[in-house]
Amino acid sequence: MANANAAHVNRTYRSTVFIMLFEEKENLLELYNAMSGKHYTAPELLEINTLENAIYMSIKNDVSFLMDGRLSLYEHQSTYSPNLPLRFLFYISNLYSGMTKDENLYGTRKAQIPTPEFVIFYNGEEERPERETLKLSDLYTFRGKDVEQGEEDGKTGKADFKLELKAELLNICGDNNKALKEACRTLREYAVFTDKMRKYTKTMDIQAAAERTIEECIQEDILREFLTKHRAEVRTVSIFEYDQEKHMRQEREQAWEEGREAGLAEGKEAGLAEGKAVGLAEGRETGLAEGKTVGMENKLLEQMRKKLEKGKTISQIADELEEREDVIAELAARL
């Protein structure tokens, strides 16, 4: 009983409709054939290696499998992230580690590992190209002068990165990648399902949206067998999946607003500090100038006092101190 409950919780928590669909070998083989141009008909040829990790949820991918000596990692994303190559690096490292656990990696015999490929099926609301390549090197803090110069010149800079990973992002929204979706009915119908779900969540609560999406798809022969068989589970998973998507969107919006407020506060504080510094500098400069003027005036008064004590006239003092007579007369009145 405990094991059954654990399995149910794990499925509800970690699954998406994409995983549920393509963990079925027949559907996964159909997708692989569409991607590779092959025509395999035996699903048992597939060896699925999807990472299972209920504790560290960030280290998991949607579907990974072995075929033709190739290790394919398929990820579904409704939110674009430039960090996917880094996540794929974690996935492939984990998988290779498991595959070579009995190998002597310090020996002279070469360990044999399958060639990897990394694919992201994107169906988010943000506009993306039909196809794009995401690279691990795009995340490097220092990418080489030739790359930076190439970007400044509007050209593609070339660099000998010692570690690179490329992931192909395929946009399956709307009319994007029609040929691929025509070659894989399951992927095409999955795209229709997600489009309906997103459309209805904009105008009704998520439970009603999930129920309407499932009902319409069954009536329109879209994933009919799958949805009929897994109706309750798909409804639960869809609600969680779109709740999670909404939560992530709200978190991004909140983080943006918090960042904006923090930036305004920091800018105000920096502005006050800069204003204070400028004011101090100007005050110091003005004080020095005024102090210098007063000092010179006091010196002039002292010289005049001595000359007046000797009985010299205003005219004589002005001539000797090279000042105008009216200035000397005004200062003499203060003595």
Please check the confidence at residue 183 and state whether its pLDDT lies above 90: yes
Angle between helix 25-36 and helix 185-201 axes, rounded to 10 deg: 110
9 SS3 class: helix
What pLDDT does 12 receive? 35
Q: How confident is the model at residue 140 (pLDDT cuts 50, 70, 90)?
A: very high
The closest of 77, 71, 75, 66 to 25, measured between CA atoms, is 66
Percent of the chain clearing pLDDT 90 (strictly above): 43
Domain membership flag for residue 243: yes
Q: Which has the closest alpha carbon to 176: 231, 120, 237, 117?
A: 120
The predicted pLDDT at position 61 comes to 64
Residue bearing tokens 């949206």: 209
Q: How much is the pLDDT for 175?
A: 92
Q: Is the pLDDT of residue 169 over 70?
A: yes
User: Confidence band (pLDDT; 50, 70, 90) for 250?
Assistant: very low
pLDDT at 9: 31
Q: At what angle do helices 231-309 and 2-14 cross, to 10 degrees?
A: 50
Residue 246's domain spans which residues?
Answer: 2-141+161-266
Q: Which residues contact 200 (CB under 8 A, 6 or more apart)?
A: 208, 209, 212, 213
The sign one gets for the Cα dihedral 331, 333, 334, 335 is positive
CA–CA distance, 261 with 254 (Å, rounded to integer): 10
> Does the pLDDT at position 235 exceed 80?
yes
Q: Looking at the domain assignment, is residue 83 inside a domain?
A: yes
- The pLDDT assigned to 49 comes to 77
Best CA proximity match to 317, nearest among 296, 333, 300: 300
pLDDT band at 290 (very low <50, low <70, confident <90, very high): low
Tell whether 222 is covered by a domain.
yes
- Establish if 273 belongs to a structural domain: no
**Number of structural domains in the chain:** 1
Is 278 part of any domain?
A: no
Where on the phi/psi map is residue 137: left (φ > 0), alpha (ψ -120 to 50), or beta? alpha
289: DSSP letter: H
Q: What is the pLDDT of residue 60?
A: 54
287 Cβ neighbours under 8 A, 6+ residues apart: none
Helix (H) and strand (E) counts for the chain? 12, 6
**What is the per-residue pLDDT for 257?**
57
Average pLDDT, the chain: 80
| Whether residue 201 has pLDDT greater than 60 | yes
Measured between alpha carbons, how far is 47 from 224 in angstroms, rounded to an integer?
A: 26
> Which span out of 203-207, 265-269, 282-286 was modeled with the highest average pLDDT?
203-207
pLDDT value of residue 306: 78
- C-beta separation of 85 from 42 below 8 A: no
Q: Is the model's pLDDT at 55 over the cut of 90?
A: no
Outline where DSSP puts E strands in the chain.
47-48, 63-67, 70-77, 115-122, 131-135, 166-171
Rounded to an integer, the average pLDDT of 226-238 is 93
Q: What is the mean pLDDT of residues 108-124?
A: 93
Whole-model pTM? 0.65
Write down the H helix ranges in 220-230: 224-229
Q: Is the pLDDT of residue 59 over 50?
A: no
Q: Give domain status of residue 115, yes or no.
A: yes
Measured from the Cβ of residue 108, the count of other Cβ atoms closer than 10 Å reads 5
* b/e per residue 176-203 (b: at least 16 CB within 10 A): bbeebbebbebbbbbbbbbebbbebbee
Return the pLDDT at 314: 78
Assign residue 64 a region (left: φ > 0; alpha: ψ between -120 and 50; beta: otherwise).
Answer: beta
Token representation of residue 317? 């003092």
Higher pLDDT, 77 or 10: 77
Lowest mean pLDDT among 11-15, 217-221, 233-237, 287-291: 11-15
- pLDDT band of residue 93 (cuts 50, 70, 90) is very high
Least confident segment among 72-86, 238-252, 310-324: 238-252
Per-residue pLDDT at 254: 52
